[in-house]
Chain A
């Protein structure tokens, strides 16, 4: 009776008889029931209520990619302005908005969220489960992110974008030197995106710890999942610093607190400490997922398991710890005690060791493998050239005396693009080519992929290598123009030409991605012959991911078949059966050994995460203009969250029945 009511309340869902359990393969009534259970409801309302991790992640990936393109276009305009000395294409006001928007977009609206978005898609598939943990929270995090990003671009369109750099140093960003609301929009965008990132970190950590397929002990987790786990922990510790910083900046600006006002006992350098305590880990929480991509791509295309799995995991963890101990290398030009700076020099240089461990392990893997030169591997190889070069200039910047010369010059611009594009964007493009067939069911064109890679690789180096030289020749960063006769003209022109090549390459990528949606060759479940679990299911995966939860026997479950029974008979454990097919029931496993632990009931789709996100958006944007928004804005949030968490009678009944069952 209760069950029937549950089904009536969810229009559009094919009711499945409650006695069906999962287990059998595709095509069976059980599989159909599972798919119906895990599918998001149809229609516009259903689209808005979606909680399936793949649906949310697809939107998330597309959104971040749109921001990536937007941020790239801003950079393109900047390069046009800097192509020749004294150009008047854009004035200082617009230029300063452009570079602030470019940096903020790439850091906050692209690099961190895109990694989390890809993780939200892949982790349940890689770990052998049907959802991320907290699917509604996951949806909420996406909406919050979307609204924060849209707000920033809305004010840009209105000509009121922030213009004090993505680092927003006070006092320049304070009330005295940045009147108006520009900086407040920036600070509030931080609040939006960091909230989203923190929530996603919780989703990722819980998913990796509790929802792995039975048998996937901690020492068998795919390295990408390890990288995301470590990244998520870094987010938990890094993001609060910048949320604190941006919130105190807003209160300085809105209600006259004086956290950063030296005239009233505040401190301008405090901002830098808080910002870089987040800002340096930020670099690594962009970089570590990139390493995770490579650790997925390289073994597949070297046709062997990764060399040095344990060393790789420990290197990731070591990087995460060290990353919190070197923020001061962004502040060497500040008058800080010299001895203290030496400590940060040492920490900044030593963080190269864990990265070196991973690079050497990959080379060892490639060396002893049998190589399949496909586009994802090309992008992985591009990483070696670019990231290693960027890492070495990073070692230069770690040294106090060298940094004092090249700090805040174009040398740093070159360095950070080598590290971030080499360390994150090349692996990400590789990952895109690698998992595109899983997400869409079709392969991307290899021919266009190669063009895409080579143009990007060449264009990148043509654009950014000359910037090292510009920095050494004294060109500071953040300048909207420069005078003729300083010896910077030719190098700048070359850099601008390179940016055209990058733009062409990005265009090819978009063409390839869109064209392959319809015209790509059908991929099948495992086009690359890879070993991790996401390749065990169909491409694109069915709504429930797996019709039967697999049991894992090794690090590359598809390469290492289940062990035979003791008596030599067929393997006794290949799949888990017995989870309910008519409701969203999942198996939670223990953190260390992934032993089956609990059956957990997951929530159904609902519109309330979206409504809550809208309510939070109203509060966040309102509080840019008046502190009262915090008071009145919290009421709709309270209502929306109450509705979100209010237990539904019918749902509870279903869950209780399962609990009573055998």
Chain B
């Protein structure tokens, strides 16, 4: 999935503030770097050359060096002033970040697991709340409050183009506010080392026009429909009697386990296994048959099925839109 993930390409106010601070800090630091190297270069060019056998110049022991002293003091003073300015800039940016308006914000609860993201949309009406995984749809221009939790170990929620990161820590709750100001797909990835598949723990934030978001959310609230006769129905039976139903839930069926991602609308997502694979029938088949091949260490067990059964299962999962 072509998605944005660049600190230097911000698409929301939070990442934007940080980007502005970055540009300022980068400019100051580059100037300081250039000045220090220039001073060093001048020193090296100006100084005379001598060998080890030459007598050391001890004149500095007898008399002070007021000129050099003044230069050093001036340089230290200038560095201090620049640092104070950067501290102030940093604190002002912090305040700007805290001031993001959260009026009418969308509320999400993200729980990180080894190695996927559980996403719950929290609506005032409990019946309107719904679950998904690894993909977060948000309406463009509307602020989002994300409550961050972790189920097992520490993870970190980071969407570089939208906002800075925040850790998800077991036993603690954190929140992160952001807003996407332009439609687009923004890639995020776990940023705290969390075990063997830390590398393949991505997620996506899809910012959409409000009406498209509303349509998507309405679809997500629906439970899974009754599959058509034939292959899909057989696929559901296979799902229910194989190990799938031990870990996954499909709302509207008897599968209600919460160990793995909720699959009620699996086919509406564009990737599998936290961004590891594209959501195509072939990749889905590969993933179910041998997850360790794709994501060594994942907790999802391999499911051995005959070719027809696998076709049926994948066929059924494809209907979960």
Contacts and interface: CB of A to CB of B under 8 A. Distances in A.
A381 interface: yes
A423 to B, nearest CB: 14
Interface in B88-142: 89-91, 93-94, 97-98, 114
Contacts of A262: 170-172
Contacts of A486: 5, 187
B199 A481 contact: yes
Chain B contact surface mostly: mixed
A93 B296 contact: yes
Contact of B61 (A302, A305, A401): A305
Contacts of A407: 164-165, 191
B296 A92 contact: yes
Contact of A360 (B49, B72, B191): B72
Interface in A387-421: 388-389, 392-393, 395-396, 398-409
Given A528-B52, A556-B56, A369 B154 contact: no
Contacts of A556: 56
B72 A366 contact: no
Contacts of B8: 472-473
Given A305-B60, A372-B50, A268 B169 contact: yes
A305 B25 contact: no
Contacts of A5: none
B158 interface: yes
B195 A177 contact: yes
Given A305-B56, A360-B72, A405-B18, A96 B196 contact: yes
A370 to B, nearest CB: 4
Interface residues of B, number: 92
A395 B25 contact: yes
A477 interface: yes
A395 B83 contact: yes
Nearest to B74: A360
Nearest to B69: A308
Given A303-B56, A363-B39, A388-B36, A401 B18 contact: yes
B93 A401 contact: yes
Interface in A427-464: none
Interface string B158-179: 1010011111011111110000
A268 B57 contact: no
Interface string A512-535: 000000000000000111010000
Contacts of B307: none
Contacts of B230: none
Contacts of B165: 333, 404-405, 407-408
A307 interface: yes
A494 to B, nearest CB: 18
A388 B68 CA distance: 21
A392 B79 CA distance: 11
B65 A345 contact: no
Interface stretch (A70-78, A152-160, A334-342, A643-651): A334-342
A334 to B, nearest CB: 5
A90 B135 CA distance: 29
A50 to B, nearest CB: 33
Contact of A92 (B93, B154, B170, B197): B197
A164 interface: yes
Nearest to A167: B193
A6 interface: no
Contacts of B289: none
Interface string A605-632: 0000000000000000000000000000
B220 interface: no
B264 interface: no
Nearest to B276: A483
A44 to B, nearest CB: 40
Interface stretch (A275-283, A284-292, A350-358): A350-358
B17 interface: yes
Given A91-B296, A262-B170, A473 B50 contact: no
B291 to A, nearest CB: 13
B29 interface: yes
Contacts of B61: 305, 554, 560
A171 interface: yes
A591 to B, nearest CB: 25
B21 A165 contact: no
B83 A367 contact: no
Contacts of A403: 164
Interface in B40-60: 40, 42-44, 46-58, 60
A396 B169 contact: no
A531 B276 CA distance: 62
Contacts of B190: 476
A65 interface: no
B320 interface: no
A361 interface: yes
B152 interface: yes
B154 A268 contact: yes
Contacts of B194: 172
A483 B283 CA distance: 15
A341 B164 CA distance: 15
B192 interface: yes
B166 A333 contact: yes
B198 interface: yes
24 contacts: A92-B199, A93-B297, A177-B153, A303-B50, A305-B56, A307-B60, A307-B65, A308-B69, A333-B164, A335-B173, A335-B174, A352-B79, A356-B76, A357-B72, A367-B43, A370-B54, A398-B90, A400-B90, A405-B160, A409-B191, A473-B8, A483-B276, A527-B52, A559-B56
Interface of A: 91-93, 96, 163-165, 169, 171-172, 176-177, 262-263, 267-269, 302-305, 307-308, 311, 333-335, 338, 341-342, 345-346, 349-350, 352-353, 356-357, 359-361, 363-364, 366-374, 381, 384-385, 388-389, 392-393, 395-396, 398-409, 471-474, 476-483, 485-487, 527-529, 531, 554, 556, 559-560
**3 A-B pairs closest in CB distance:** A262-B171, A404-B164, A370-B50
Interface of B: 2, 5-8, 15, 17-18, 21-22, 25-26, 29, 32-33, 36-37, 39-40, 42-44, 46-58, 60-61, 65, 68-69, 71-72, 75-76, 79-80, 83, 86-87, 89-91, 93-94, 97-98, 114, 152-154, 156, 158, 160, 163-167, 169-175, 187, 189-200, 275-276, 296-297
